[in-house]
Amino acid sequence: MREAFPFKLGISAINWANEDVLRLGDHYSGETILSEMASLGYAGTEMSRKFPSHVQSLKALLENKGMSLASQWKGVLFSDAARHNAELEGYRKHVLFLKEMGCKTVVTCELGGSTIGDPRRGENEADVRPLTDFEWNAMIDGLEKAGQICREHDMQLVYHYHMGTNVETKEQIDRLMQESNPELVHLLFDSGHAYYAGAEPMEILAEYADRIKHVHLKDVRKDVLEHVRRDGIDFKSSVLENVFTVPGDGILDFKPILQTLKDQTYSGWVIIEAEQDPDVKNPYTYARLSKQYIDRIWKEIR
C-alpha cells in the first residue's frame, strides 16, 4: 500500500544491482527488482543496467508494475574542455531519452579526476585527483551548457555531489553553487554522501532549499564509517564494507529531513538508496524496513 506523500517516493535499483561494483547483485533481473519494489508500495525508481534501454520496452515493463522512471545518472567529463562538444552531444541524447520516459530531472555528476568513472585513470587508483582552477571553470561552463539543454526540454539538471569525486565536501558543494547559474544548475540532496564527507545533511538541505530538485535518502553505518576513516579505506572499498544502508538502519535521523521537505513543500522525487552488498544485506528486506520506517515517521510529523 502506498502512503500519501506530497512528494513521490521511490527506491533505487542500485540497492539490488550496483552500478560501480558490477559484481554486486549481477544475478538480479530487472523483472525481479521492479516486482519487489512495486510489492512494497514504491512509486518509481531510477534507471538501472538491469532494465531495457529501449524506450517502449522500458515503458511497458514499468507500466506493468505500476511504476515510473524518476531519472538516470549521467557522468560527465566537462572538466576537460577539449571534450565539451562530444560530452554535450551525449548529454543531449541522454536528456531526450529521459524526456521520452517522462522524467523532469537529469542526475548529473562530474567524473574528472574521480575514482568512480574517469576513463583516463587506472582502475586501481584510489585517490581523487583534484581539478585545477582551469578544469573547475571548464566543468562549470559545461554544466551550464548542459543545464540549458535541460531547460530547452522543460527539465532540470540536478548535480549529484558524490564521494570519490571533486564535489563531495560541503566546501566543494558551496563553491559549485556559488559559481554556477542557479537557473541552470540545480542540486540533488543526498543525505548519505553529505554525512560521509563530513557535512551536516540538514545544513545543506536548509541552505540550498531553492536549488534542490531531487532527493536521495541513504543512511550510514557509523561504526563502518569510523573504520573506513581510521584505516584510510577508499570509497569503492567502503561500499564493499557496507558503509551505506537504508534510512532507519543507520546513524541519521530522517524525521527532521522529512519535516523540512514538508515545510519546503517539496514535491519532486525522494529516492531511497543504499549501495551495499545484496548478497549480505538482502535488498528486499532492507527496502521493506526503510518503507516501514518512512511511513511511520511521516505519520508522526503530519
Q: Does 197 score more than 80 pLDDT? A: yes
Domains and CATH numbers, the chain: 7-63+218-301 (3.20.20.150), 72-119+127-186 (3.20.20.150)
Q: What is the pLDDT of residues 80-91, one digit of tens each?
A: 999 999 999 999
pLDDT score for 302? 73
CA distance 91 to 224: 36
Q: What is the pLDDT of residues 165-195, one digit of tens each?
A: 999 999 999 999 999 999 999 999 999 999 9
C-alpha cell of residue 287: 527496502
pLDDT score for 121? 95
Neighbours of 253 (CB within 10 A): 13
- Tell me which of 236 and 195 has the higher pLDDT: 195
CA distance 6 to 43: 12
CA distance 31 to 51: 8
C-alpha cell of residue 80: 576537460
**What number of CA atoms fall less than 13 Å from residue 170's CA on the CB side?**
15
pLDDT score for 2? 61
pLDDT band at 1 (very low <50, low <70, confident <90, very high): low
CA distance 77 to 84: 8
pLDDT score for 3? 64
Q: Does 22 score more than 90 pLDDT? A: no
Q: What is the pLDDT of residues 88-139, one digit of tens each?
A: 999 999 999 999 999 999 999 999 999 999 999 998 899 999 999 999 999 9
Q: What is the pLDDT of residues 245-262, one digit of tens each?
A: 999 999 999 999 999 999
* Whole-structure pTM value: 0.97
248: alpha, beta or left? (left if phi > 0; alpha if psi -120 to 50): left
pLDDT score for 143? 98
Q: Does 5 score more than 70 pLDDT? A: yes
Cα torsion 186, 88, 193, 166: sign: negative
Q: What is the pLDDT of residues 251-301, one digit of tens each?
A: 999 999 999 999 999 999 999 999 889 999 999 999 999 999 999 999 999
pLDDT score for 25? 92
Q: What is the pLDDT of residues 31-48, one digit of tens each?
A: 999 999 999 999 999 999
Cα distances from 213 to residues 4, 129, 209, 228, 245, in angstroms, run: 20, 28, 9, 30, 23
Q: What is the mean pLDDT of residues 232-241?
A: 93
